[in-house]
């Protein structure tokens, strides 16, 4: 968006009621017809702007797209979201973010798409990415920590998303499924796919890819009982840009604290409190065979702690957990 157009949008947002066209002209040093041109551009982008003769202009509706102009005014961050790249459609926001990161993009840069044609979850699985409903975005991180700590980032992101959902969305009660899903009533509302480029002792960058089912109304038949959305669970529609801004505001300070810590730090008791797997009998698939047992909690570095039938405790750093039976 052109700087003048974006300036007018900011003034409309900040106005208490109508904003006089004459004042806009004199404050910005442009003509009435120029003001009108920018108002038209904003309307084309989906903003509802009332124009009343003698009173001026008033912003009465936003397009609801998670575009930079809708997100950045609500940020309290220093780095996260200060650069935002929005696309109507992308193959995958992680792919695009990786390209930007390789070209040197700064920490906190966010790539958003309204829809994805090749959205992916963990283990190469597909991530349902229809347009005009959900959030699909990737945050570029450059944590100065050894790669061994990077497996904690999905848990960190999960805690930040959980906090944001709890604070923003009424009438829902979300849980975190180790290592990187957010569930409401046992159904997935959010997934996280972290990808990283490293040397054994140096982290180049991490891409934290996040998909949140926000306003999706219809769950495809093959995901019935498996996936859900904030809208289905709460009965309301939610602003994608507000949720994203709230999440970035929550994520950045948590990330900064984590950088200073030796392990998961203060996030650990939080994750423990909302651990969906806790007390459940699970099987965890790993590269080499699976382990089964009852989940007793999380280790200090985010490992899933399992007690098997022989009473042996296992600390599992990575894998795919499935429920065997409710405890």
Q: Which residues sit at the interface with a second copy, rule CB under 8 A? A: 122-123, 144-148, 150-151, 153-154, 179-180, 193-202, 204, 286-287, 317-320
Question: Beta partners for 141?
Answer: 206
Min CB(198)–a second copy separation in Å: 6
Whose Cβ is closer to a second copy: residue 122's or residue 188's? 122
Whose Cβ is closer to a second copy: residue 32's or residue 125's? 125
Q: Please state, in angstroms and rounded to a whole number, the distance separating the CA atoms of residues 139 and 244.
A: 11
Question: Beta partners for 293?
Answer: 282
Min CB(161)–a second copy separation in Å: 16
Q: Closest by alpha carbon to 238, among 54, 64, 57?
A: 64
Whose Cβ is closer to a second copy: residue 107's or residue 114's? 107
Q: Please state, in angstroms and rounded to a whole number, the distance separating the CA atoms of residues 19 and 32.
A: 13
Min CB(134)–a second copy separation in Å: 21
Whose Cβ is closer to a second copy: residue 108's or residue 154's? 154
Whose Cβ is closer to a second copy: residue 273's or residue 286's? 286
Q: Which residue, chain included where needed, has tokens 């798409």?
A: 113
Min CB(229)–a second copy separation in Å: 25
Min CB(143)–a second copy separation in Å: 9
**What letter would DSSP give residue 266?**
T
Beta strands in the chain (DSSP E): 48-52, 56-61, 84-90, 110-116, 135-141, 174-177, 181-184, 187-199, 202-212, 281-285, 290-298, 304-307, 313-316, 320-325
Q: Closest by alpha carbon to 231, among 246, 245, 247, 216?
A: 216
Min CB(187)–a second copy separation in Å: 22
Whose Cβ is closer to a second copy: residue 44's or residue 288's? 288
Sign of CA dihedral 162, 164, 167, 169: negative
């Amino acid at each position: 968006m052109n700087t003048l157009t974006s300036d007018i949008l900011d003034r409309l947002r900040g106005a208490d009621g109508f904003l006089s066209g004459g004042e806009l002209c004199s404050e910005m040093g442009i003509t009435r017809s120029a003001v009108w041109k920018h108002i038209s551009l904003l309307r084309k982008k989906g903003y509802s702007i009332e124009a009343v003769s003698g009173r001026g202009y008033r912003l009465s509706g936003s397009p609801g797209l998670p575009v930079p102009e809708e997100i950045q005014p609500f940020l309290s961050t220093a780095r996260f979201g200060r650069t935002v790249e929005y696309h109507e459609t992308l193959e995958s926001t992680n792919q695009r973010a990786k390209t930007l990161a390789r070209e040197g993009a700064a920490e906190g840069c966010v790539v958003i798409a309204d829809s994805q044609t090749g959205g992916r979850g963990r283990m190469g699985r597909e991530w349902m990415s229809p347009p005009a409903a959900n959030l699909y975005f990737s945050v570029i991180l450059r944590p100065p920590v050894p790669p061994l700590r990077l497996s904690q980032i999905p848990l960190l992101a999960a805690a930040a998303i959980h906090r944001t959902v709890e604070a923003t969305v009424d009438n829902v009660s979300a849980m975190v499924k180790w290592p990187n899903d957010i569930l409401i009533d046992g159904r997935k509302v959010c997934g996280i796919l972290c990808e990283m480029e490293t040397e054994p002792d140096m982290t180049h960058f991490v891409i934290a890819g996040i998909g949140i089912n926000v306003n999706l109304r219809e769950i495809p038949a093959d995901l019935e009982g498996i996936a859900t959305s904030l809208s289905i669970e709460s009965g309301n529609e939610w602003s994608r840009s507000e949720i994203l801004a709230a999440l970035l505001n929550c994520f950045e300070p948590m990330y900064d604290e984590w950088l200073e810590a030796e392990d998961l730090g203060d996030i650990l008791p939080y994750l423990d409190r909302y651990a969906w797997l806790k007390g459940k009998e699970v099987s965890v698939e790993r590269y080499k065979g699976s382990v089964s047992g009852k989940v007793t909690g999380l280790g200090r570095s985010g490992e899933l702690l399992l007690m098997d039938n022989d009473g042996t405790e296992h600390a599992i750093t990575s894998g795919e957990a499935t429920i065997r039976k409710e405890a």
